[in-house]
Structure 1
Amino acid sequence: MIVFRYLSREVLLTLSAVSAVLLVIIMSGRFIKYLAQAAQGLLDPGVLLLIISFRIPGFLQLILPLGLFLGILLAYGRLYLESEMTVLSATGMSPQRLFAYSLAPALLVAALTAWLSLSLAPAGVTKVAEILKQQDSMTEFDTLVAGRFQSIKGGNRVTYTEKLSEDRTELSGVFISEKRLGKAGEDRGIAVLVAESGRQQIQPDGSRYLILNNGFRYDGSPGQADYRAIRYDTYGVLLPKPSVDGEISEREAIPTRELLASDNPRHQAELQWRLSIPLLVFVVTLLAVPLSRVNPRQGRFLKLLPAILLYMSYLALLIAARGKLDKGEFVYGLWLVHGLFVLVGVLLLYWENLRLFWAARRARVEVAHG
């Protein structure tokens, strides 16, 4: 029992450290992406942390199996390097028994990933989709920030306002520059609008206009002297709706109970993917235990790269099978991939026994013929 607690503690501590680092890296990348959209006026900066919070379960469901895999490799690799595993082997610790001990932290991680994959992650995706839908319904006027140039429509329009009222109804010192494109997409120069003030006006059909007061409109092409200047008292500008790219699939938000009752191939692929994540935990544990065995002279990181490549191959095959299942072309689903790597794990786990068996058999044959 003491050995079991010691091994479990080492694995869980390493798992926690690795998972925390991976989570920070992934969250940082996503946060930078959302921050860039907020800087462009496509997202309200106030919802960034809320979006990231709802996305954490989706991140963790993929991070935890990898964290457990690396945790076992690093924790047991250190024990082999410091000859602690050699001492345990002398007291009867076989690779099969080590795998049995490793199933306890694996069961804990599998239960957590099952909760995340089947419940929390879809609910989080639903919340993020609602937030992004709300953000997508906002107009350029709703996302303006005083004192900052805002680029939208792929950079074809740049908007600036010097001051903006707290209730976001009145602007002053307005500047708008927009590329003029023909029906075929050809460049027809730019249009520049400047105005002393502006306000938003909502039409009966729901469309919104920015009404500018006391300003000028300049039309022309840069580098040419054919600019046309028009002075106006009142001018209306249609406010386009910004498009927010959230990279969220609609089926990811479907509750698991609805997937169970659906015959749609895409829904079945999503269901198998969610069920595969907890199963992935046990398979990678089976792979990691024999791969963690290292020679003290070789160092603990010798097998780390091949092990990671094996894990990435496993995940890549799962993703490829999921894509085939989406199209109804792969009748065996994701279970064939899991079965293949279970076979690989069993071979690795019993490789030493198989090697000794064949060596002993060869020796008996040589003796028989000697």
Structure 2
Amino acid sequence: MIISRYLSRELLLTQCAVSAVLLVIIMSGRFIKYLAQAAQGLLDPGVLFSLMLYRMPGFLQLILPLGLFLGILLSFGRLYLDSEITVLRATGMSQQRLFGYSLIPATLVALLVAWLSLWLSPQGIAAMELLLNQQEALTEFDTLVPGRFQSMRDGSRVTYVEELSDDRSQLSRVFITEKRAAGAGKEDRGITVLVANSGRQEIQPDGGRYLILQDGYRYDGKPGQADYRVIRYDTYGVLLPKPAASGEISEREAIPTRQLIDSDVQKYKSELQWRLSIPVLVFVVTLLAVPLSKVNPRQGRFLKLLPAVLLYMAYLALLVAARGALDKGNIPTALGLWWVHGLFLLIGLCLLYWESICLKWAQFRAGRRGVRHA
């Protein structure tokens, strides 16, 4: 019992450290992407942290199995280097028994991953989808930030306001530049520049929104040429486009698991198997990691880290490929993703019992040689 608690503590501490580092890396990359969209006016800066919070369960359900895999490799590798496993094996500790002790923390991780995959992650995706839909209903006027040039319409339009009232109803010192679209086979029509001392938003009965500029100028022409047209106006209306924020989420990811169980749609069946596969992944990678963590003290504990990570990546890539084939109906639903788990389960069992297999084979060869000599 003392050994079990010691091994579980070492494994879980290492897994938490690795998972925290991986989570920070992934969350930082996604936050930078959302921050860039907010800088372009595609997202309200006030919803960035909400988006990250809703996405966190989806990140964790994939990070925790990898964190457990690396945690076993690093923690048990250190025990091999410090000869602690050698001492334990002298008292009767086999790799199979070491795997049994590893199943205790692995079961806790699998339960947490199952909760994230089957319940919390779909809820987070649904909340994120709702938030993004609300962002798509915003216009350029709603996402303006005073004192900043904001790119809209894939960079074809740039807007700048120097001051914006607290209720976002009045603007002052407005600058808008927009490329004039050219038809197929026609030359570039140049750009349009609008400047105004003030502006306000106006909503039409049909729901269209316009930015009403007052006391300004319009410049039409091509950069580098002197044939500009200048128009002075007292009032000028500009249609406000709706910025589209990219959430990179599919609709089925937000569907509750109970609804997936009752569905006969092929893609929904594939999504259900994917959610069930992630907790199964935890037990299989535990089986793979325990024999791969065995290292020679002279070689260092990082020798097997690279091939082990490549094996994990092959496992995950094959799962993703099988999921895509299952979506298209190229794989029977009964077979689904389970053949991938079965394949790597077999690989894990071979690695775990490799010493026993080699020993029995050597005994078999020795027995055959003895028969021949007799």
- Provide the TM-score with structure 2 as the length reference: 0.98
SS at match of 1:204: coil
2:144 is matched with 144
Q: What one-letter code is carried by the residue in structure 1 that aligns with 2:40?
A: Q
Matched, 1:361 2:367: no
Deviation of 1:187 after TM superposition, in Å, equals: 2.3
Q: State the shift of 1:365 in Å.
A: 1.6
Count how many residue pairs are aligned between Structure 1 and Structure 2.
370
The DSSP-based 3-state class of the residue aligned with 1:230 is strand
Alpha-carbon distance between aligned partners in 2 of 1:106 and 1:99, rounded to the nearest angstrom: 10
Deviates more, 1:184-193 or 1:297-306: 184-193
Matches within 5 A, 1:335-354: 335-354=338-357
Aligned partner of residue 188 in structure 1, secondary structure: coil
In structure 1, distance between residues paired with 2:316 and 2:176? 48
Mapped partners of 2:256, 2:14: distance in 1: 32
Amino acid at match of 2:204: Q
In 2, Cα distance between equivalents of 1:235 and 1:282:
65
Q: Give the aligned CA root-mean-square deviation in angstroms.
A: 0.8
The offset of 1:360, in angstroms, is 1.3
Match of 1:182 in 2: 182
Partner of 2:211: 210
Distance 2:34 2:299 in 1: 44
- Correspondence for 1:86: 86
Distance in structure 1 (CA, Å) of the matches to 2:163 and 2:106:
57
1:363 CA drift (Å): 1.4
Segments of structure 2 that go 5 or more residues without pairing to the other structure are: none
Shift of 1:183: 2.9
1:107 equivalent to 2:94? Answer no
SS of 2:190 mapped into structure 1: strand
Report the equivalent of 1:169.
169
- SS of the aligned residue for 1:209 comes to strand
Task: Describe the shift of the 1:356–1:115 C-alpha distance in structure 2 as closer, same or farther (beyond 3 A).
Answer: same
The SS at the match of 1:274 is helix
SS at match of 2:189: strand
How far is 1:369 from its partner? 1.9
For 1:368 and 1:91, how far apart are their aligned partners in 2?
35
- The equivalent residue for 2:76 is 76
Identity %: 72
Structure 2 Cα separation of the partners of residues 206 and 188 of structure 1: 30
Aligned twin of 2:128: 128
In structure 2, the residue matched to 1:265 is 266
1:1-370 matched pairs, under 5 angstroms: 1-184=1-184, 186-331=187-332, 332-370=335-373
Name the amino acid aligned to 1:56: M
Which amino acid in 2 is paired with 1:120?
A: L
State the SS of the aligned residue for 1:368. helix
CA offsets 1:168-200 (integer angstroms, 9 cap, x no match): 000010000000012328521000000110000
Structure 1 residue 286: Cα displacement:
0.5
What amino acid maps onto 2:93 in structure 1? M
Deviates more, 1:357-366 or 1:85-94: 357-366
> Structure 1: any 5+ residue segments left out of the alignment?
none
